[in-house]
Chains A and B, each alone.
Chain A
């Protein structure tokens, strides 16, 4: 036997040398096909497990990437065959020699790092908890069990760390209310490993040396008409149906597709043909499946669902109802609830309201599906909306709870990407944009008003408020009813500014009028205003009344800089006031401006509020949870 210090061993089956790159891995696949495990530092033996049969995934041995600023390389993987899915745990080695798993499957990418719980947890409790219930797994942090799964087959490739190789491996997926995730893997009874799971988008990994060639898939004969059927995304696809005869088939024993009935209405009324390619949310997808489903409730609503596939981003779904389109993808970071249904959930400070919950049956199918689509009536669906977004939870007794995030896709965008005869829109779509919560309208309007006020106050703080004239003029009684005066010259220094005239006259049941003429001493340009002061009061029909004011304010606005003088002329009726006061201030703030701009600003929110309430009423018409009342 060769030295193990260097990581070199000899394959017990073919005698060829095999070398481990990492000190922490324990399983390697020899070029002869034997799967070898080093038990102790100086011992190696062959173990019985399968080598990955369908290995043409996007990630491959030799793929490199970056995570948290650390470069890594993929050196091998094990693949779990679960109840209705398969999932890859790639062993990655970082530039500093450490390792962890990169989980990948169905477009969900996550790093799995061995976790140490900071408190003692009964392993039986981890296993006993039922989906949807929570337990304390970290100090002061409760986790809800989302799903339990059992592993029926393990396949391996390259060099990897495989803690144990037993039968009856089980997985338990927990998520905390704080958004943390833990996966427990029970390798053999009594041996449970905890992994901290961190979901991330594929683009964040900066992956290089990836395999972009199409999946080879699996060729089968239709169990009905014996036509050749190609399951393009096998082993991820778990069921399908023949486009010709409508025979349905599901994956059994991880190897063969068995017939599970036939489409009752095999009309294949696809608006987008299978094989079509289009881009949604920046991802290029191919349509690989189609289903027409019906709600099992009093509404019996029917909708069409298209299965999309991208080798890098996995599966997505397009749901169409009344010409409105919703694009959905399974998510790892999801809302965490310990009971369903709830009337409302909050995710990332956004409130989603329960719109519908139902079970469904599948009427017609074509192509392939990443889950067993034919287990009608066993999946309970909960839809929470905050248009144009939604969260959909699918609860399945076998798989637990799966969350999908959905977004409205406009018909224009759909026609642009899938130029086929798509149905035209009718009614208000579940996620059709245009919904703005009244609370949000109020909040945004309040912020905008606050901003206007702030701007107004800041500018007013820098106004000159320079008093140019502050005097009282006296008019002798029984002389002329007018008085004129010319002021000294003064300078207005600002590019443009206003003059505020505060006029006071002790009028009582009569009037006074001031004409002010501002003359530019150099150019002769004139700016003039007239302002009356009137005050009337009396006693009529047992009630006293008064109108007008003894003080008035007038403005000369936007006066250019220059040297000016004022020509003033006061007029009054015979027997009118004997004096009046005038104060002229340059560069003052005009608060009326603020009020009118606030009024103009309020037009949009008021109109929007009326539209929103009307539209929402129509949107919720088909929901059993509508907060609105309807006349019919």
Chain B
């Protein structure tokens, strides 16, 4: 079986975009698991910085 699945004569050619999708999702999962990113909490968690929103002052 040809390794380069973007070549038409590879047996994995029909799965080329699925393999790309799986690679992207695996990378995201790795990042999420490693950094403790809970992708459900984006609207639950609030965050403030002590320096405020960064308004202009003299």
- Which residues does A use to contact B, with CB under 8 Å? 350, 388, 407, 433-436, 444-445, 448, 451-452, 455-456, 459-460, 495-499, 520, 523-530, 554-559, 587-590, 592-594, 596-597, 600-601, 604-605, 608
Contact = CB atoms under 8 A, between A and B. Distances in A.
Contact of A526 (B30, B44, B47): B47
A525 B46 contact: no
B38 A495 contact: no
Contact of A529 (B18, B34, B46): B46
B46 A593 contact: no
Given A444-B18, A452-B22, A459-B30, 19 more contacts: A444-B12, A445-B18, A455-B30, A460-B33, A496-B34, A497-B35, A497-B36, A499-B36, A520-B50, A524-B50, A526-B48, A529-B44, A529-B46, A558-B36, A593-B32, A601-B21, A601-B22, A604-B18, A604-B21
A596 B33 CA distance: 13
A529 B33 contact: no
Interface of B: 8-9, 11-15, 17-19, 21-22, 25-26, 28-30, 32-41, 44-50
B5 to A, nearest CB: 11
Those 3 A-B pairs whose CB atoms lie nearest each other, nearest first: A498-B36, A524-B50, A496-B35
Contacts of B15: 436, 444
Nearest to A459: B33
A528 B45 contact: yes
A593 B38 contact: yes
Which of B8, B12, B33 has the most A CB atoms < 10 Å from its CB?
B33
Given A528-B45, A528-B46, A495 B21 contact: no
B26 A559 contact: no
B47 to A, nearest CB: 5
Q: What is the predominant secondary structure among interface residues of chain A facing chain B?
A: mixed
Interface centre among B12, B15, B29, B41 (most CB of A within 10 A): B29
B39 A596 contact: yes
B13 A590 contact: no
Contacts of A452: 22, 25-26, 29
A593 B28 CA distance: 10
A525 B50 contact: yes
Contacts of A498: 35-38
Given A433-B8, A525-B50, A588-B36, A593 B17 contact: no
